[in-house]
Every structure is written in C-alpha cells, then in structure tokens.
C-alpha cells in the first residue's frame, strides 16, 4: 500500500494534474472578481512594488545566511558569494514540478565548492526544519493577536511547533541526522549541530520572516490604505509559505500558498483586495527569486575562480615540497 502511494505521489501526471486543477480554481476566482481586483491593483504605486521587491530580496538573503550558518556549524564555512551561488541558484529548482530539484541542485553546487554531499544533505534538512518551525511559530504568535478566528482554523499547523522545537535540540537533531545518513548508506557527520550554530540560523530565519512580512504589509497598506495589519501580514504569509512548502507536488507552492494567504488576509480586508495582495506578492517574490538566482550565478563565477586558484596554489606547493 505504501509503495503504491509513493508511486502515485511521484507521478508526473498527478503533479501536473493537481497543478492544472489548482491554477484553474485560482484563475476562475481571479476572473470572477477581476473588476474589484483590478481596482485594488490600480491603487498601487510603482515605488511600493519596488520597495516590496527589495524587501523580498532581503528576506531571501536572510534565509540564505541562515543556511550558511548551518553548513558552517557542520564544518564547511562558506564565503558570502559561495553561499549565495549555491543557495540562490538552487532555490530556482523549487519552480520545477517535484520536490527533488532544489535539493539536488544545492547538493551538487555545494560539492563543486568542496562541501561533502552528506553535509549539504544534512544542512538542507536542518534549514528546512528551522524554516518551517520558525514560520509556524511566527504564525502561532502573530495570527491569534491579529485574528483569533484564524488561530482556531489552523490549530493543526500550530500544534506542530512544539514537536519541531523538540526536534531542533542539537543532541536530538544530531542523532536523527546520523540515523538518516546511515539509512541512505552515508557515513555519519563529522560534526553535529551546536546550540550556537542553530541560534545564528534561527536569528537569520526570524529576520527573514520579518522582512517578508513587512513586504506583504507594504502591499496591503498601499492597496487598502490601512496602516495596521503587520501582524496579520507576517503571520499569514509565514503560515501560507510553510503550508506551500509541505504541498510538495505543487512547484513553488503555487496555488496553495496563495489561497491560504488570501484566506488569512480576507479576515481583515475585502476579499478582492486580499486576492490583489496575494497576486502582487506572488509576482514580486518570484521576480525576487529570479533576480537572486542571477546574482548567485554572477557571484558564483568569482567563487569558482577562487576555488581554481586555491587548487592551483596547492598543486604548486605540493610540487615544491616534492
């Protein structure tokens, strides 16, 4: 039974069908409310969208620095340019159907810069748990303050926060990672996660959620004229992003993330405005991911040259020693 479910979940036809179904529902909803949505979009100024784009890029950078802190804690410190190349370029893989592309790209790009594959696998898993755990934690704190009804509606997501927090304790996390590596016939980690390393990753991740929340709040304020709503924007986006990550059959959480964000915002603003905010947020974050990916490629050329120079220098030193 389990093998049948696994084959079904990995089916490209199923993923494509679900994506088409979700996009069809989203498209119909957008079409049915387009006059009101277009009116809300018309209230946006270009500088609000530009600032939102900058905040989205800053949020992505904070998340990249969180992963950099984790992989450094495991024994592979990376320069900013190397980490940006690996993380930003690999993140583009999430827009492809299936959950493996971003992970595979990150493992191979890091390996090209000298990071052992098992260490990148572990850092990817830890960063994902940190991202989801902190995101649900932010939502669990912010949404009840902004909208008690939302807290009751999504209690099942918040219930996972305590379990994830317990799993993030370094002694527990290290044992779990080593067991998983053994299961895939990889040697255990040379260094396990530490409190200091996880603390740095948590700090960067929380900064990322705040920046991404302010990004949504800025669009909300420009669209509706409301000065409040920061807690709703931050908590709603964090919840929507985390649930979108868990719906792995949809590339980039397309549809799932947007529908949950609309549901969260619609508790405080007209539904058409919530649709407009979610639409702008999707476009801005996608454009930000593409821009960061381009930056990662540009920085990566310098990192690759530095790796080649280091290798050539080591060879020269070895020749002199011989």
Give tens-digit pLDDT for 153-206. Answer: 766 666 777 778 777 888 888 888 888 888 888 888 888 899 999 999 999 999
**Residues 205-243 as b or e (16 or more Cβ within 10 Å = b):** bbbbbbbbbbbbbbbbbbbbeeeebbbbbbbbbbbbbbb
| pLDDT tens digits for range 69-107 | 999 999 999 999 999 999 998 888 777 765 677 888 899
CA–CA separation, 297 and 289 (whole Å): 12
Cα–Cα distance measured from residue 68 to residue 87, given in angstroms and rounded to the nearest whole number: 9
3-state secondary structure of 189: coil
Q: Tokens for 206, please give them.
A: 């929380």
**Higher model confidence: residue 256 or residue 122?**
122
In which band, very low, low, confident or very high, does the pLDDT at 317 lie, cut at 50, 70 and 90? low
Which of 261, 283, 277 is closest to 135 using CA atoms?
Answer: 261
pLDDT of residue 257: 86
Q: Among all chains, which residue has been given the structure tokens 């868990």?
A: 246
Compute how many other C-beta atoms are within 10 angstroms of the C-beta atom of residue 290. Answer: 14
CA distance 287 to 176: 36
Q: Distances in Å between the alpha carbon of 186 and those of 26, 41, 193?
A: 43, 51, 17
pLDDT in tens, 212-262: 999 999 999 988 877 778 999 999 999 999 888 877 655 666 777 888 899
Phi and psi dihedrals of 96, rounded to 5? -95, 145
In tens, the pLDDT along 266-309 reads: 888 888 889 889 989 988 888 898 899 888 888 766 554 554 45
């Amino acid at each position: 039974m389990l093998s049948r479910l696994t084959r079904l979940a990995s089916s490209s036809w199923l993923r494509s069908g679900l994506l088409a179904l979700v996009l069809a529902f989203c498209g119909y909803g957008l079409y049915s409310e387009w006059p009101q949505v277009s009116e809300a979009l018309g209230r946006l100024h270009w500088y609000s969208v530009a600032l939102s784009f900058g905040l989205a890029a800053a949020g992505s950078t904070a998340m990249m620095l969180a992963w950099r802190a984790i992989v450094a804690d495991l024994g592979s410190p990376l320069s900013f340019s190397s980490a940006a190349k690996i993380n930003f370029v690999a993140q583009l893989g999430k827009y492809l159907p299936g959950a493996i592309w971003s992970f595979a790209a990150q493992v191979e790009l890091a390996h090209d810069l000298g990071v052992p594959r098992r260490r990148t696998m572990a850092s990817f898993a830890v960063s994902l748990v940190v991202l989801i755990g902190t995101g649900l934690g932010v939502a669990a704190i912010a949404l009840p303050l902004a909208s008690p009804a939302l807290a009751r509606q999504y209690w099942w997501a918040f219930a996972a926060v305590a379990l994830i927090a317990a799993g993030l304790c370094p002694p527990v996390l290290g044992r779990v990672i080593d067991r998983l590596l053994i299961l895939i016939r990889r040697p255990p980690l040379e260094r396990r996660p530490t409190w200091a390393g996880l603390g740095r990753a948590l700090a960067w991740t929380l900064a990322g959620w705040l920046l991404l929340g302010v990004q949504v709040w800025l669009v909300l304020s420009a669209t509706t004229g409301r000065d409040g709503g920061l807690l709703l924007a931050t908590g709603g986006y964090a919840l929507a992003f985390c649930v979108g990550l868990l719906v792995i059959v949809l590339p980039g959480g397309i549809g799932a993330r947007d529908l949950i964000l609309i549901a969260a915002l619609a508790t405080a603003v007209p539904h058409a405005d919530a649709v407009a905010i979610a639409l702008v947020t999707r476009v801005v974050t996608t454009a930000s991911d593409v821009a960061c990916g381009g930056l990662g490629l540009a920085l990566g050329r310098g990192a690759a040259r530095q790796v080649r120079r280091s290798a050539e220098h080591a060879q020269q030193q070895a020749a002199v020693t011989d």
